[in-house]
Structure 1
Amino acid sequence: MEGREEDVRVGANKFSERQAIGTAAQSQDRDYQEPPPAPLFEPAELSSWSFYRAGIAEFMATFLFLYISILTVMGVVKSNTKCSTVGIQGIAWAFGGMIFILVYCTAGISGGHINPAVTFGLLLARKLSLTRALFYMVMQCLGAICGAGVVKGFKKGLYENNGGGANVVAPGYTKGDGLGAEIVGTFILVYTVFSATDAKRSARDSHVPVLAPLPIGFAVFLVHLATIPITGTGINPARSLGAAIIYDKSHAWNDHWIFWVGPFIGAALAAMYQQIVIRAIPFKSRP
């Protein structure tokens, strides 16, 4: 740790940063370097094995995410009383815990998105190219479909009789309620992703590698606790699509648009908030 502190001290003034006049950070220097914006199109990626390896990692992570989370949901809904199962808290832990594990496992390969809304938010922030973003989204959706399909294969009767883990707006709530819950829930998730992977935070906390996946998984857990009674909690279009396709009942499609529109709006708002307000990117000038 002493050597690291010395490195930080020596490098403290290497990269100056000037922000809008009047901000508290006006006179602060930094010991990290902001990565350059990703190009919108990067055709060279298509000839790189690392590009396809990252897509496969997204597929496998989303597959495992749906497999564990939907199986947990099925275990809860089949029970006569919630007290005899893990209940809503257990479902929330299954979703949040799997995201924590899978982000930890895949962050070094694909970035650990496991969610088209996260990918969309990072695309808007120029953290990855459109080519890679579209590829990730396709692989995430395919992984979700396969994960839900395996659950149905194991427990077909239970799956078909208990909603299949499909996201719908619960009775007593309007479509507007469901849309709002998905927007705010996804905003919380994507804002946490931006904060946990911020270049400045990464430089400071690089000696504790679990610090990025942990808050992301915990954000998913908390959002599920809050919104499972409203929509079953989507905040992930791939998760909602996979369950809807495999369950394939009409009511699973009635509100399905909410679980794409809501997360994409929430992700866009989080990207704007992070880039414009928190990081003040449009107001920074280059030395």
Structure 2
Amino acid sequence: MADKEDDIAVGATTKYGERIPLGTSAPIDARDYTEPAFAPLVDRKEFGLWAFWRAGIAEFFASLLFLYIAINTVMGQDRLGGCNGVGTQGIAWAFGGMIFVLVYCTAGISGGHINPAVTFGLFLARKVSLPRAVFYMICQCLGAICGAGIVKGFQPGFYEANGGGANQVAHGYTKGDGLGAEIVGTFVLVYTVFSATDAKRKARDSYVPVLAPLPIGFAVYLVHLATIPITGTGINPARSLGAAVIFNRHHNAWNDHWIFWVGPLLGATLAATYHMVVIRAMPFSKTRV
């Protein structure tokens, strides 16, 4: 157990329920922790495992359900409008709440990424292999396209008339504004994912346990509140791609579409770098703990 000195318990309890003073070292048994090995860049054995393919299927259906609920909520707001609709806050709750539900349902199967930017960030942190990351992203995008397609299939006329939930930079904002909103919004989301799923915190810091999907869903909700007026909130390239592919005829959506890939991937890169270098200081630790 190297580098124990850098871990300080804040109001932690012993296994007997006794509160220890702030600023003192955590009890030994609460701090035993070995950092998991990095995922291999390419692991050919994965292709022969049903768990690998099952995880991709889970990501596909989670993305399908996410787009179905999310776009239906946006369409419903457009249909009712004003005080009769759910409003910006209702849309934000639908996106955040659905992510909470889907991460909870799929975390034990695929990790509950449901977002290429999240997958990309975890790949950069060597949490998943390259084949798994690519497979997840493909499944997420296909699931999102199918989810948007189902919404259009149920109400084609209304879907076409109201933009199909496609992301675009709102009138009055520049493409730079939209790109910045997507970078920062995705940073918040991916940083939250790293923090909520960090095994070291659970094993060594004796913090109050929190259901991981809850802060992730809440982060999605808060980011939507902030950026719906700017870009409609992407922070998920699969969500933006699914809506754009099915709507297909809204030229401004395709003109701005690069923002909803470049922004989230940059935001995920920054979040992964911040977590690995600043929060975990892995490049400076001889033992990676």
TM-score for the superposition, normalised by structure 2: 0.88
Contact 2:38-2:126 at 8 Å conserved across structures: yes
Offset at residue 85 of structure 1 (A): 1.1
Deviations 1:238-284 (A, max 9, x none): 00000000000222101000000000000000000000000000011
> Deviation per CA, 1:27-77, whole angstroms, max 9, x where unpaired?
776222221100000111011100000000000000000000000000001
Once residues 146 and 200 of structure 1 are traced to their aligned partners in structure 2, the CA distance between those partners, rounded to angstroms, is: 37
- 3-state SS of paired residue (2:188): helix
- What corresponds to 1:9 in structure 2? none
RMSD of Structure 2 on Structure 1 (CA): 2.0
The code of the aligned residue for 1:95 comes to F
1:173-188 alignment to 2 at 5 Å? 173-188=173-188
Q: Which amino acid aligns with 1:200?
A: K
> What letter corresponds to residue 111 of structure 1 in structure 2?
G
Pair 1:276 & 2:246 matched? no
Percent of residue pairs bearing the same amino acid type: 73
Q: What amino acid sits opposite 1:132 in the alignment?
A: R
**Cα deviation digits, residues 13-35 of structure 1 (max 9, x gap):** xx33368xxx676x776222221
3-state SS in 1 of match to 2:214: helix
Alignment of 1:17 with 2:17, yes or no, is no
Contact 1:182/1:259 (8 A) holds in 2: yes
AA at the equivalent of 1:234: G
Counterpart code for 1:78: R
Measured in 1, the distance between the counterparts of 2:183 and 2:122 equals 16
Letter of the 2:255 counterpart: N
Superposed displacement of residue 126, structure 1: 0.3
Structure 2, unpaired ranges of 5+: 9-24
**Structure 2 vs 1, CA of residues 137 and 274 (structure 1 numbering), >3 Å: closer, same or farther?**
same
Report matched runs for 1:37-186 at 5 Å. 37-79=38-80, 81-186=81-186
Deviation at residue 201 of structure 1 after TM alignment: 2.7
Asked if structure 2 preserves the Cα contact closer than 8 Å seen for 1:196 and 1:212, the reply is yes
**Partners of 1:255 and 1:202 in 2: how far apart?**
40
Alignment size in residue pairs:
268
Q: Is the 8 A contact 1:244 1:253 kept in 2?
A: yes
* In 2, Cα distance between equivalents of 1:82 and 1:34: 51
| Structure 1 counterpart of 2:20 | none
Structure 1 residues 130, 17: closer, same or farther in 2, change over 3 A? same
1:134-181 Cα shifts (integer Å, max 9, x gaps): 000000000000000000001111110001000000000000000000
| SS of residue matched to 2:222 | helix
Indicate if the aligned counterparts of 1:191 and 1:271 stay in contact, CA closer than 8 A: yes
Residue of structure 1 in register with 2:224 after alignment: 224
Counterpart AA for 1:261 = V
Where 2:100 maps in the other structure, the secondary structure is helix
Find the residue that maps to 2:114 and give its secondary structure: coil
Paired AA for residue 91 in structure 1? I
Distance 2:135 2:210 in 1: 27
SS in 2 for 1:211: coil
Contact 1:227 1:233 in 2 (8 A): yes
User: Quick one: which amino acid aligns to residue 107 of structure 2?
Assistant: A
Counterpart contact for 1:205–1:211, Cα < 8 Å: no
The one-letter amino acid paired with 2:147 is G
Q: Counterpart amino acid of 1:127?
A: K
Change (3 A) 1:212 1:205: farther
> Structure 1: which amino acid aligns with 2:174?
T
